[in-house]
């Protein structure tokens, strides 16, 4: 006779997106990855995960671009944690997708980290962020960042994460060209032109705060951008136009996020962001608004959702 799944309340947790405020590729690593320096930033755009008790690990998601099987990164996170903690119960993870897929916004990685954080609490494992870190690293280079959120420096593969004292605050406009770009393919293009170097100082100058105020953001660049546009040449024209709108309306920083295809502008004030969004929409682009989410705001959002388990629907 099959064993009934234990009855527990269901749990609904947010899974936030990120942008890369800056990204420097320093060289190739022996493990096939690239040595990076990046500045991560969580933003208010988020998916929602609803966890329910189940006998197996199951993912449900109606988005056609998201695998609804055990290759899904959230399922892999649950399976890895179950193995590590020697549990035999499962979980059903229903993903309400809002973060564009293949958009450089870290949706899959965020879903994986959210699953780890939620199940650690739900299964009463007490591992915490430090205990979850090795599992997160195995799942993907961006997953560790989402255990912390806020503004953080990412080194090594991007998986060595240092939350910053100085948290960036602002309003974002995200322009979404609506086509995925493969991260692996973009990094592969980088290889042909890479001169290894350790001396690019822009991100370090930003982090060490010898640049004052929001103008500091202007030194940041995403070194994946030209490789991403070679990989997806159809985006070149769009990106030029998107950038034009964002800069015209006063973006402090206008950049591709990760390996794309999402392009964002970061603004000091909501009015300028609103104008840029309206201009982009007027020109036929899909443009969303978001806010930066600081380290504290991220931690608060997590404690709110983990502190208030909801009763399972019958
Ligand atoms: O770790 P993740 O699966 O998210 O990375 C996707 C792909 O991006 C990797 O397979 C690798 O090709 C590339 N990548 C890289 N160097 C990094 C991060 C990612 O080459 N630091």
Confidence category of residue 310, pLDDT binned at 50, 70, 90: very low
Say how many domains are in the chain: 2
The atom number, within ligand 1, closest to the CA of 157 reads 21
- Residue whose CA is at the smallest distance from ligand 1 atom 2: 140
Distance CA 37, CA 203 (A): 7
Q: State which residues form the domain around 191.
A: 171-291
Q: Is residue 142 part of a domain?
A: yes
Whether residues 23 and 158 share a domain: the answer is yes
Distance CA 17, CA 100 (A): 9
Q: 183 C-alpha to center of ligand 1: Å?
A: 7
Q: 188 C-alpha to center of ligand 1: Å?
A: 10
pLDDT of 35 reads 93
Whether residues 178 and 154 share a domain: the answer is no
Q: Which of 165, 186, 204 is the last residue of a domain?
A: 165
Closest C-alpha to 60, from 80, 40, 90, 39: 90
pLDDT digits (tens, 9 = 90+) for 17-29: 999 999 999 989 9
Whether residues 176 and 43 share a domain: the answer is no
Q: 263 C-alpha to center of ligand 1: Å?
A: 19
Whether residues 218 and 246 share a domain: the answer is yes
Q: Which mutation among 34, 182, 183 tests ligand 1's pocket best, with the greatest number of atoms within 8 A of CB?
A: 183
Q: Is residue 301 part of a domain?
A: no
Whether residues 182 and 155 share a domain: the answer is no
pLDDT of 13 reads 96
Q: 277 C-alpha to center of ligand 1: Å?
A: 31
Whether residues 30 and 156 share a domain: the answer is yes
pLDDT of 194 reads 64
- Residue whose CA is at the smallest distance from ligand 1 atom 14: 33
Q: Is residue 85 part of a domain?
A: yes
- For residue 309, is pLDDT > 60? no
Average model confidence (pLDDT) across the chain? 91
The CATH number for 233's domain is 3.30.70.890
Q: Which mutation among 23, 184, 223 tests ligand 1's pocket best, with the greatest number of atoms within 8 A of CB?
A: 184
DSSP 199-227: ---HHHHHHTT-S-SGGGGGG--BTTHHH
Provide the b/e sequence for 94-132 (b: ≥16 CB within 10 Å): bbebebbebbbbbbbbbbbbbbbbbbbbbbebebebeeb
Confidence category of residue 55, pLDDT binned at 50, 70, 90: very high
Distance CA 261, CA 263 (A): 6
- Where residue 203 falls (left for φ over 0; alpha for ψ -120 to 50; beta otherwise) is alpha
Please identify every residue annotated as catalytic. 18, 142
pLDDT of 312 reads 40
Confidence category of residue 199, pLDDT binned at 50, 70, 90: low
Confidence category of residue 1, pLDDT binned at 50, 70, 90: very low
Q: What is the value of pTM for the model shown?
A: 0.92
Q: What average pLDDT does this structure show over 269-289?
A: 97
Whether residues 182 and 247 share a domain: the answer is yes
Residue 80: φ, ψ to 5°: -65, -40
* Ligand 1 environment, Cβ below 6 A: 33-34, 36, 140-142, 157-158, 183-184, 187
pLDDT of 257 reads 96
Q: Is residue 100 part of a domain?
A: yes
């Amino acid at each position: 006779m099959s064993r009934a799944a234990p009855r527990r309340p269901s749990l609904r947790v947010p899974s936030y997106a990120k942008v890369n405020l800056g990204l420097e590729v320093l060289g190739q690593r022996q493990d096939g990855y690239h040595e990076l320096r990046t500045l991560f930033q969580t933003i208010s755009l988020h998916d929602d995960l609803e966890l329910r008790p189940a006998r197996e690990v199951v993912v449900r998601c109606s988005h056609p671009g998201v695998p609804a099987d055990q290759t899904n990164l959230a399922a892999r996170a649950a399976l890895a944690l179950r193995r590590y903690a020697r549990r035999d119960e499962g979980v059903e993870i229903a993903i309400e997708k809002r973060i564009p897929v293949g958009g450089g916004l870290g949706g899959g990685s965020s879903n994986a980290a959210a699953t780890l954080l939620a199940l650690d609490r739900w299964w009463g494992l007490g591992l915490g962020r430090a205990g979850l870190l090795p599992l997160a690293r195995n799942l993907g280079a961006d997953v560790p960042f989402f255990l912390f959120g806020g503004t953080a420096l990412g080194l090594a593969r991007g998986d060595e994460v240092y939350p910053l004292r100085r948290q960036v605050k602002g309003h974002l406009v995200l322009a979404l060209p609506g086509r995925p770009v493969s991260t692996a393919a973009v990094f592969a293009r980088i290889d042909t032109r890479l001169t290894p170097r350790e001396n690019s100082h822009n991100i370090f100058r930003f982090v060490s705060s010898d640049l004052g105020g929001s103008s500091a953001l202007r030194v940041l660049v995403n070194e994946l951008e030209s490789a991403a546009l070679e990989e997806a040449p159809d985006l070149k024209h769009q990106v030029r136009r998107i950038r034009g709108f964002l800069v015209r309306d006063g973006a402090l920083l206008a950049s591709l996020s990760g390996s794309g295809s999402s392009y964002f502008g970061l603004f000091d004030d909501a009015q300028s962001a609103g104008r840029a969004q309206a201009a982009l929409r007027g020109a036929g682009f899909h443009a969303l608004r978001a806010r930066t989410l600081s380290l504290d705001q991220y931690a608060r959002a997590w404690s709110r959702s983990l502190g208030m388990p909801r009763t399972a629907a019958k």
